[in-house]
A and B are shown apart, each in its own frame.
Chain A
Amino acid sequence: MGNHLLEVRDLSVRFHTAQGMVNAVNGISWHLDRGETLAILGESGSGKSVSASAIMNLIDTPPGEITAGQILFDGVDLLQAAPEMRRRTNGKRISMIFQDPLSHLNPVYPVGWQIAETALAHGWTKTAAYDRALSLMARVGIPDPQAALSKYPHEFSGGQRQRLMIAMALMLKPEILIADEPTTALDVTVQAEVLSLLEELKAETGMGLVLITHDLGVVADAADRAVVMEGGRIVEAGTPHDLYHSPKHPYTQKLLAAAPGKGVMRTAGKLAPPILEVHDLKKSYGAFEALRQVGFDLHAGETLAVVGESGSGKSTIARLVLRLEEATSGQVLWKGEDLLAKSPKEMAKLRRQLQMVFQDPTQSLNPHMTVFEIISEGWAIHRDILPKSQWRARVAELLEQVGLSAAHAMRAPHQFSGGQRQRIAIARALALEPEVIICDEAVSALDVSIQKQVIDLLGDLRDRLGIAFLFIAHDLPLVRDFADRILVMQKGEIVEQGTVHQIFDAAQHPYTQRLLYAGLDADPDVQAERRRKRRMLERA
């Protein structure tokens, strides 16, 4: 038992939930030293954030209950400490930042005040607190920090908000910073910047950093050591390098195998004639041009990936093609007929041929319908597909096709996990026997291992049913093994397009290159190389 800065010993926490008692973490132990970065790696449900919540006294009891363990900070067991002492520790000696900074910042107060509050809560004077806030905001790279003090969270971009959170956490130069999925919802280029910032700040202050993440790339990029969690237990611990090259636990192995961008790139065969041709598609919202003059073809049976960061207009394409929104100008030719010129009635008929899978299956499945009702709804709309007597059998068939069982048909969506829900959504799309399926960030919200399964499923369907995919994603590695061709989009324009090989092996456009280098790779060596290249690019 050395003198670690922070040590979690045999911590067990459980929660009362709808399913009864759930053991969130079960006797886990880890430690952190000064100046060190520890990554806690795990997927949703692994309990990776629970120990952090316990450290920060953020577990509500009830429904939570800490059943065993110690949290030794500087030799003192926090779990035995008085509430007031824990409050004094929070923010001052141990700070925490969260995923989704928008909801973790109070929407109705200026960010300056919120940052200064960390110091105010610990007895600083107003002037001193605001001075410190100002200098920190400058340090984390907020432009015009003086003006930014009185702005509100919604007036910043996602990356800036996370920088503000970081400033808030570092107000009192804490000894430990816990970052819970700090980059998850951010664009890849922003993610890289935030990770670099954390790295720099750690070097400056000598604090210990706990990085909670589901992303092997983040571990590879930033961690000195990592623990891997599954089902509330730590299954493996070690350096990123060891974990990557010699994973011992099957779960770690599974995670690594699921990491995208490691498989074989597809080599496009002879292209079938195009079924969907998009010409000069334009969409503006007032003065803002979301999409400027975009054109591309989609051929039968091929997979075309559209990659870009938020605001690039990639999802707008999907909505325009499917007429969920009306385009400002342009043509969308479906087998030679302009979809944009169709009357709503004609369009409704054609819709069965073009289906869509949305990003968040929790929201895209009607919570008030059973799986059976969801999947069979298309047949109720398009009466000629299937006679009612066969619905039941076909639903069962479809469910099995997407890897679920017929028994699931009568359940409601909320009874399924995220990956299962997305399978249901895919089954719903398949039910209409479409020729094209547009996937709008269809796997972005899923855990890595689930992502892999869903992509495999889609690939399988493509091969078996000859469906063409328009696959929209924000992440290049994700589409590497799946797509035939790739469009790279930035600010409403296609900056580069080509086959997977062309993009990955010989990207021409600087933006494409930046995207490639900003992507995090699970291999610490590859990642180190990428980081170097990125720095070079930044300097250039």
Chain B
Amino acid sequence: MKYSTVLAGALLATTVMSQAFAQEAGNVTVVLGEEPDLVEPCMATRSNIGRIVLQNISETLTELDVRGDEGLKPRLAVSWEMTDASTWRFHLREGVKFSDGSDFDAQDVKHSFDRAQSDQISCEISRYYEGIDITPTVIDPHTIDFTTDPAQPILPLLLSLLTIVPSETPIEFTREPVGTGPYILSDWQPGRQITLERRDDYWGDAPEVQTAKYVFRSDPAVAAAMVSTGEADIAPTISAMDATTDMDVAYPNSETTYLRIDSSVAPLDDKRVREALNIGIDRDAFIGTILAEGTQVATAINVPTTLGWNPDVKAFPYDPERARELLDEAKADGVPVDREILLVGRTGNFPGATETFEAIQSMLNDAGFNIKLQMVEVAEHEQYYSKPYVDGRGPILVGAQHDNSRGDPVFSMFFKYDSEGRQSGIADQKVDDLIAQATAATGEEREALWSELFAYLHDDVIADVLLFHMVGHARVGSRVAFTPTIATNSQLQLSEIGFR
């Protein structure tokens, strides 16, 4: 082989490639970690679907402001009010058309809700309305009432998750979503890419992005590389290890990492042991090393922007000496502190997950625990994390992440802390009561009740080992202007992308 030939070939490749990479103006390419199985509006709460669908193809009645502090903003509803203790009335925007040309009215909202609730398909959105009896009633084409039992003070927030589809949409999963949003799904080549095209008859302001192409790379390093080479413009979730260039932006991603304690099994049923677990971990040591700079030590399962987040709750200090003392005390009372405790982590849960759990294991063992670490795949993790728990199990800590960017703890508290909660490791009457009260309360009372609950869980029950509010990293190419937010995990509004 002649060197000159190789060189010539390489040069040729360079020129051809740079042409191939070049993107047309108005187009963006987004590289996501996982291809959605469906582009189904009623599944938009699933992050891989939501990033594409939510507010791009399908819109909701209300929308939570994650960039400013406006709280809940109107989207397809222009306003809403409570007509009585159990009824919410929504006034709908007029002159809105679906991408199939039909007009948007109250009937569509009712159908969307019924469809999401239907037992013929497993829509993911419906889980947010579980345990509440909600009846939508069409008042006139642009007014709809929702009657709830019990009273649902945060119904407008819940409706920020309900994607609106036309009333003609059949009750089965669709691959051709129709919505009121500024974009339509123009092309889907499974496994390769999904393309959204801007539509002209959108009711609101036309966004800058004309065409958005989504591609999928499960390896974050590759995703990051694609933005560096100009093959893609935005990689919303890259690994912290790769976030080394000035194209990379860190953002709090609303994920909270914690160790769920199964406090029904000795020695974890002893509060001193749970406290020892908490003070046995040097949380600060992780930040800026294994975990990215900007990661916050958590004192609650929800991020600080959540309603009722309690600033008075202070993180546990790192004090391995004290941890050992606590264990000794417990031991003296006959608590089997030497028992091997299984720490279950999920591989690939977040960048550096394995290292994080390894470090935790090593810190806890230094503090006198006998921890065995086991990293498992998602299905097995689910077995440990969710009820029903296995009978005859040993003491188990489950390392997990929880994501609630919706602004209200109601989306977390029941599942994670109620005696009946699916991932709850505790059974505490006071906790159950507080959750019930707060869920039904409104306004400042609601906030106060949540605050009380946060403090009680952290300081009195010591329900779990709260670790970190995580940050995510996005790589944004030089062509586009985009700032990720706390909601970037679950949605990616193309209208928020500009060009430089």
Direct A–B contact in complex, judged by CB atoms less than 8 Å apart: no
